Amino acid sequence: MNNFFKNVLQDIKDISIPLYKILIPFVFILKILEVSGLIEIIARILEPFMVLVGLEPELGLVFVTGLFVNIYAAIVVFANTVPSLDLNVAQITVLATMILIAHGIPVESTISKATGVGFTYTICLRLISAFVLGYILNQIYSSFGIHQQQFSTFIDLQPPPSEVIPWFINQFINLIYIFFIVCLLVTSLEILKLVGIEKLFLKVFTVPLKFFGIQKEAMNIIIVGMTLGIQFGGGLLIKEVKSGKIDKQSAFLSVSMLNLIHAMIEDTLLMLMIGAHISGVFFARLIFGFILCYFIFKIYVKFQTKLSKSL
């Protein structure tokens, strides 16, 4: 039990300190963008893309924040943007699912690059996949009238005040909310580890992964990445690729899969807290990722066969 609390506190510290180093200055950057009118400009640029997936143009900034920074920073912008909009569960789910596929591009593309997979491929894969899945989900939800009810969140979201002092207090409260979310997530993850959820994932996914052209030596890395995130799985993959234990095909296909399906526990819980539905942020993301990775595998094999014949 002592180890449990020790691990929880250490993880909270490891996540919170670097997180707030990003979030605190970003709050002020966001305010500058708002005052200068740049937010409206960004929203107008992204409007056609947001409308394509059934979202309000104002949500474009939330998506871009997640794209270039991380999910937590996107939630800060989300807390400042969403209260003034009339949104349903389906829209929040579409937005959340897109962010889960295409968040943290600069950092996670760098990790992919270290395994031998190019920036351009990684960025295109994640951006195109985010909008394709967002479009599919929007069509399904709207066509069948699914999740059209008003969304609700784990945290109380109110429109931010315009006056400086109340705004500052409001942002401070939002940052405290983020801290409690981190605490809850870390504790939940430790509990899931205790009950053996990671071992369950290993049993469930080991056999299916064999159909995606990934060698046995990469299986555990894929499972780690799926459960804990691309930073963990990618870090292990870099090590194994450099040691020569994993071939180029497995490295490429593993990175492709991890870019689409990672941190299925933590990220899913986080998005459920802001009102998204599990049908999109977990099941649709998982199914879409597996289907796309299967086609990537088939295309990769076909390309490699043609290349070897030409040589």
Question: What's the confidence (pLDDT) of residue 156?
Answer: 62
Q: How far apart are CA 35 and CA 27, in angstroms?
A: 13
Where residue 289 falls among pLDDT bands split at 50, 70, 90? very high
Mean pLDDT for 138-144 is 97
pLDDT digit string, tens, across residues 189-203: 678 777 777 677 667
95 pLDDT band, cuts 50/70/90, is: very high
Tell me the C-alpha distance between 47 and 32, whole Å.
21
Better-scored residue on pLDDT, 226 or 145: 145
Mean pLDDT of 34-59: 83
Cα gap 169→33, rounded to integer Å: 19
Q: What is the mean pLDDT of residues 160-167?
A: 73
Q: For residue 120, what are its two tokens? A: 């351009």
27 pLDDT higher than 50 = yes
Collect all residues with Cβ–Cβ distance below 8 Å to 264 and sequence separation of at least 6: 201, 226, 227, 282, 285, 286
Distance, in Å, from the CA atom of 203 to the CA atom of 227, rounded to the nearest integer, reads: 13
Return the closest-CA partner of residue 81 out of 153, 18, 130.
153
CB count within 10 Å of CB 52 equals 12
Q: Please give the distance of CA 246 from its chain centroid, rounded to a whole number.
A: 26
Model pLDDT, residue 228: 67
CA distance 119 to 111: 10
Length of the chain equals 311
Query: Do the Cβ atoms of 259 and 112 come closer than 8 Å?
Result: yes
Backbone phi, psi, residue 248, to 5°: -60, -40
Burial label, 105 (beta-carbon count in 10 A; 0-12, 13-18, 19+): buried
Q: Which of 132-136, 191-195, 213-217, 264-268 has the highest mean pLDDT?
A: 132-136
Residue 77 is predicted with a pLDDT of 83
Mean pLDDT calculated for residue range 49-78: 87
308 pLDDT more than 60: no
Maximum alpha-carbon separation in the chain: 69
Cβ atoms 250, 217 nearer than 8 A: yes
Instruction: Give the position of tokens 């802001």.
Output: 274
Q: How far apart are the first and last CA of the chain?
A: 60
